[in-house]
A and B are shown apart, each in its own frame.
Chain A
Amino acid sequence: MAKRNQQNGSGRFTQKMSIKLAVLFIMILVAFAFLGIRLFIINRDNGDKYKKKVLSQQAYDSITIPAKRGDIVDRNNTKMAVSQKVYNICIDSKTLNKDDGKYLESTIAALYSTPAEFSYTKDELRSYILSNPDSQYRVIARKQGYETVSDIMNMVNNPSMYPDFKGVWLEDTYVRQYPYNSLACDLIGFVQGDNEGAYGLEEFYNSTLVGTNGREFGYLNDDENLERTLKPAQDGKTLVTSIDVNIQSIVEKNILAFNEEHRNEAREGDGSTNTGVIIMDPNNGEVLAMASYPTYNLNDPRNTDNLDIKVELDPEQFGIMNGILDGTDISEMDDSELAETVRKLAGGNNDAGDESGDNSEGIMEQDIEINVGNSDEEENDAGDPYSGMTYAEAYDKAYEEAKMEALNSLWKNYCISSTYEPGSTMKPFTMATGLEDGILRGDESYVCNGVTEVGGHEIHCSNRLGHGALTFEGAIEQSCNVAFMKIGTQIGKTEFMKYNQIFNFGLKTNIDLTGEALTNSLVFNINTMTPTDLAISSFGQGFNVTMIQMAAGFCSLINGGYYYKPHVVTRILDSAGTTVETVEPRIIKQTVSQETSDKIKELCVGVVENGTGKSARPAGYRIGGKTGTAEKYPRGTENYVISFMAFAPADDPQLVCYVVIDEPNVGYQAQSKYAAVLCKDILTEVLPYMGIFQTEELTEKEAEELAEKQQEFSKGSTGDSEEEVVGEIIVDADTADDGSNGTGAITFVDENGNELDEEDLTGRKIDIDPETGYAIDPTSGVLLDPQTGAPIDPTVTDLR
């Protein structure tokens, strides 16, 4: 290479040119050297900082994978609360604006050709994308079902087939749905905000239901290589409850019927302030149904349409004198005009908050009471919460507070959260105390003159004329207060209070529901209890209980003395359907002996057969029970809590049904028969459903009523559910008349008029398992082959 032609011809590269070329080469080398140094300096000075920058940009690259909240199902696996996978549609404006927005129109057109419901119109979306070119995340449609977004999903997943569709993706999320709307609302509770259970099972078991969110993220491994990792979501667990949706429906239907019947009867409003019913299995403490009235729709818990929101505000506090409200004369106005005026005045401040729509609507439709003459002292004592506000602002605030208060009382579960004086349903407990202690032998007799004097107070019996001479049984059958005050005095406060503790009064039952009231301050203290207190306690006045306390205690009285912890959840399943926890019935204590329990059962049967509980007897059944009528505080206002506590069937109790009606909307409230009749109506439907057969003869009148009712049931059930009614009950009037057929007074026939034997009857209310199509044996829960009736081995059948 060294030997090259160095000739210098005229057309050749000259020496000067070579020198200049060398100069150029050196300048180029200098430039390269400079750039090399520059590279080195960037690494030396900013290397670490830029490394971190690169990593921090990566941190945004993680996606949360939401966990599915567990379902809540009843004892037959009927779903009461489910989480449905839905999709949010999101857009990336930056991508849509790329390439001069080439894909913008085609993408928008494709989006709006699908049935999804967007939060924006086409034009709004277009202008949003154009005016926010840097936005990379915007949800444009929320919680869309799979069917709705399937087209979009297809386009998102196949970019090569849809090259003009860009900048859109779907985000998974879940919505909570309650297929039965308001059914068992107080028991189930709802979900608010970010997957947070409120009230009932949803709150109590929130941590079980909620699951753990998963995450997909990228990270750098030891060699600083990027790796992607998926941590899958752990779905929440499913709660299997002891509730039976059918029983719950029967209960709620009858509660509603009662409240509708007595609506606006003695006063404006519902048929009662509250109506609560608990049905429990006394043999294991499982709650079969728990309902109260009024109810709300779990799918829309904040709906205030049916609420009576009362605002109590004194206009004079706001300088509105002589009935002049912001320049408007209100002295001549009636309630609705006043409300309208206030609404107009408050209207200007209603913009804030999403509730404003509901708010003004609510004010228009609902009954607003403005107490012009409200007591000033109270408000001054508490400090004025409305200081510095105009009347309209204060009205808004007061309305908001009143609304929350109304909603909170609506969401509250009356059966566990409200306390009241039990009244005469306490009497079986008092009698059991006396019998267990040996103070009562069962052959005592009493004389009632209608009044007795204890500790200087004259206390009347429910029958002011007096019951006269009463046997031991008669005392409870007639619910004689005078006799029970005597029994109470005989027992003495020490023993009485000891047994109250044993029956769990003043303590929580610790049922697995949120919101159980603590009554320890609402029962008598043995140290300060006076003879009068003892006397009225013996018939259930002067101290407070919750419904669940009474129901759980009563279960122990009639099941041989075993106090089971009341509970709703029986099993917990993981997301694959495997049982991870079984809640066994838990006996907390023995309250009374078997003998006492048998005696109490006998006495309670007497109450229904011969005494105050006659109207509670469902036709064809022998049950036991006890009425209750408790006067509420303040005494003398004629407000009562009436109740009925029943067990059925009398010989082998399968259920306890406790009905409480708070302030029935009737002229004279102190009539426990309202509760007794409601109890009868419920039992009339629930007992046949549970496969408990009639044992008693029907009178002709009962038979007719029953036939009529049965007609209603079958109509109702075919109308609103798929419940299979194989046959219908007809009454053989002839056999009922001569009584020769004993228990066979009722015959079941199928549609073709063929008589059904007992095996068919068991199948009368058989449910069909929707997954497998097999029938379910109502007593054992085992799947049956519909052809042969033979049980199917559940281990063979895949229940999923």
Chain B
Amino acid sequence: MSENRKPDKKRKYYFDYTMLFIVLFLVLFGLVMLYSTSSYEANIKFDDPAFYFRKQAVASAIGIGVMFAFMLIDYHIVQRFAFLAYVVSLILIILVLTPLGYEAGGARRWLNLGLSLQPAEVAKLALIIFFASVVCRLGDAIQERRNLILVLALAVPHALCVLIITQNLSSAIIIFSIVFMMLFVATPQYKEYFILAAIVAALAVAIVLLVKYDVIPAELSYRLRRVEAWLDPEAYSASTGFQTLQALYAIGSGGIFGKGLGESIQKLGYLPEAQNDMIFSIICEELGLFGAFAIILLFVLLIWRFLVIANNASDKFGALMVVGVMAHISIQVILNIAVVTNTIPNTGITLPFISYGGSSIVFLLAEMGLVLGVSRSIRVED
């Protein structure tokens, strides 16, 4: 199946500068927003306003290095390690149970391997590569419905491990959704996907209704309590609804053009851990609706570039990888903004490139490197 053709030097090759620019802009903009958002809290907690900023800047620099590395190597080499990536990423998740794993912010989700690493982020990248490879290998066999279910089932171990071992529902949802979207694009069926999506949606609605009408007590799980707070954040303004409500205050008080960069009030101790999942609300507060729409537009542009690259990729493996990255970015952006605007219950999802998180930015930029690599293989006709 190897389609490892050496590019002909006489031919002109494409490089997506638009995408590179968008990615670099988002990373730098993210650093500015992160500093603005976190300096107050960092100063109180660590007596150093640049504490978070510095860590994130280092991670971003590493990430950009990784991105260029992935861009320059031939992405077909990656395909050889697809199965290995699948196994290793699963092992990494399980390693969290060993003493190598450690806890931060009340959840055990990290590995200490000299550098701190969040295995869920590794799993996202690994599964994108693995499923792109699997779909290519299966060829036409993927078109059968039975095989489709089997392939989809390959994502279950990772999703379950992330959910059970690291207690990270949002990452499990993202992992599963990435695979779901990749297969949706790779296979001709529509009905099956819509049925599956409808079943999931119906289950979600059922749970929400059961919580709403107190059929199942919300005290059973903190996730149910978050559903409860989502339905009426003001009733739980002192507890589970606090963060959501403060985020809404931040968004609402920003107005059209915002209070100006660095002028957020909500970051001054009111919105807890604003630099993580809630950074978008501070963007809304400081830069207003205008700034928020500009950021959304940048993400749309980025996703559009993924579309273009996938459509023009020189082979299916590359194209599917781009689809996987596109799925990853769009799901995280959509879910993050949905949480911040209280459109869905609060669950910890970071905003790609902008939220604080070292593993996240490094692996996201690695994915960008893969996509840019794919874009380099596009041949431009003479």
Contacts and interface: CB of A to CB of B under 8 A. Distances in A.
A112 interface: no
B144 to A, nearest CB: 15
Given A38-B343, A39-B251, A39-B284, A28 B185 contact: no
Interface string B32-68: 0000000000001011000000000000000000000
Interface in A4-57: 4-5, 9, 11-14, 16-18, 20-22, 24-25, 28-29, 31-32, 34-36, 38-40, 42-43, 46-47, 49-51, 53-54, 57
B253 A47 contact: yes
Interface string A112-144: 000000000000000000000010000000000
Interface string B276-300: 0000000010000100110010011
B251 A50 contact: yes
Contacts of A134: 238
B312 A47 contact: no
A375 interface: no
B330 A50 contact: no
Contact of A35 (B254, B311, B314, B341): B341
Interface residues of A, number: 48
Nearest to B382: A3
Contacts of B185: 17, 20-21, 24
Given A35-B341, A35-B343, A54-B265, A11 B334 contact: no
A786 interface: no
Interface string A592-627: 000000000000000000000000000000000000
B200 to A, nearest CB: 15
B303 to A, nearest CB: 6
Contacts, number: 142
A50 B296 contact: no
Given A3-B381, A4-B378, A5-B312, A36 B249 contact: no
Interface string A268-301: 0000000000000000000000000000000000
Contact of A46 (B248, B293, B300): B248
Contact of A31 (B268, B304, B327, B334): B334
Given A42-B248, A43-B256, A18 B289 contact: no
Interface in B240-282: 248-256, 259-260, 263, 265-266, 268, 270
B147 to A, nearest CB: 17
B293 A36 contact: yes
A795 interface: no
Interface stretch (B157-165, B315-323, B359-367): B315-323
Contact of B380 (A5, A20, A39, A53): A5
Contacts of B263: 224-226
A118 B149 CA distance: 67
A558 to B, nearest CB: 72
A179 interface: no
B307 A43 contact: no
Contacts of A99: 106
B312 A4 contact: yes
B114 interface: no
A265 to B, nearest CB: 69
A147 interface: no
B296 A35 contact: yes
B319 A13 contact: yes
B343 A53 contact: no
B82 interface: no
B334 A54 contact: no
A100 interface: yes
Of B106, B238, B259, chain A has the most CB atoms within 10 Å of the CB of B259
A396 to B, nearest CB: 42
Nearest to B12: A3
Contacts of A39: 251, 284, 289, 292-293, 337, 341
Contact of A22 (B14, B307, B317): B307
A168 to B, nearest CB: 14
A226 B334 contact: no
A51 B252 contact: yes
A160 interface: yes
A687 to B, nearest CB: 66
A12 B320 CA distance: 10
Given A9-B315, A47-B255, A4 B14 contact: yes
A58 interface: yes
A567 to B, nearest CB: 54
B3 interface: yes
Contact of B310 (A13, A49, A54): A13
Given A12-B315, A25-B303, A17 B186 contact: yes
A50 B381 contact: no
B337 A35 contact: yes
Contacts of B256: 43
B212 interface: no
B77 interface: no
Nearest to B44: A159
Nearest to B336: A35
B99 interface: no
Contacts of B113: none
Contact of A28 (B253, B284, B313, B334): B334
Contacts of A50: 248-253
Contacts of B296: 32, 35-36
Contacts of B253: 47, 50-51, 53-54
Interface string A203-247: 000000000000000001001111000000000000000000000
Contacts of B136: 11
A22 B304 CA distance: 10
B287 to A, nearest CB: 12
Contact of B300 (A17, A20, A29): A29
Nearest to B318: A13
B354 to A, nearest CB: 15
A58 B263 CA distance: 14
Contact of A42 (B251, B311, B312): B251
A226 B312 contact: no
B181 interface: yes
A226 B238 CA distance: 24
A18 B310 CA distance: 8
B20 to A, nearest CB: 14
A644 to B, nearest CB: 71
Given A21-B307, A100-B106, A12 B289 contact: no
Contact of B259 (A22, A29, A31, A224): A224
A13 B343 contact: no
Contacts of A100: 106
B227 to A, nearest CB: 18
A711 B317 CA distance: 114
B303 A28 contact: yes
Contact of B323 (A12, A21, A36): A21
Interface string B222-249: 0000000000000000100000000011
Contacts of A36: 293, 296
A3 B254 CA distance: 44
Contacts of A54: 249-250, 253, 265-266, 270
A97 to B, nearest CB: 12
Given A13-B319, A32-B296, A224-B263, 16 more contacts: A1-B14, A5-B312, A5-B380, A12-B316, A21-B185, A21-B310, A21-B311, A22-B307, A24-B327, A32-B300, A39-B251, A39-B292, A39-B293, A40-B289, A43-B252, A54-B266
Which 4 residue pairs across A and B have the least CB separation, nearest first?
A50-B252, A13-B319, A160-B47, A51-B253
Interface of B: 1, 3, 14, 44, 46-47, 106, 136, 181, 184-186, 188, 238, 248-256, 259-260, 263, 265-266, 268, 270, 284, 289, 292-293, 296, 299-300, 303-304, 307, 310-317, 319, 323, 326-327, 330, 333-334, 337-338, 341, 343, 378-381
21 contacts: A4-B14, A4-B378, A5-B312, A11-B3, A12-B315, A18-B311, A21-B323, A22-B307, A28-B303, A31-B334, A32-B300, A35-B296, A43-B289, A50-B249, A51-B252, A54-B253, A54-B270, A100-B106, A159-B44, A159-B47, A226-B263
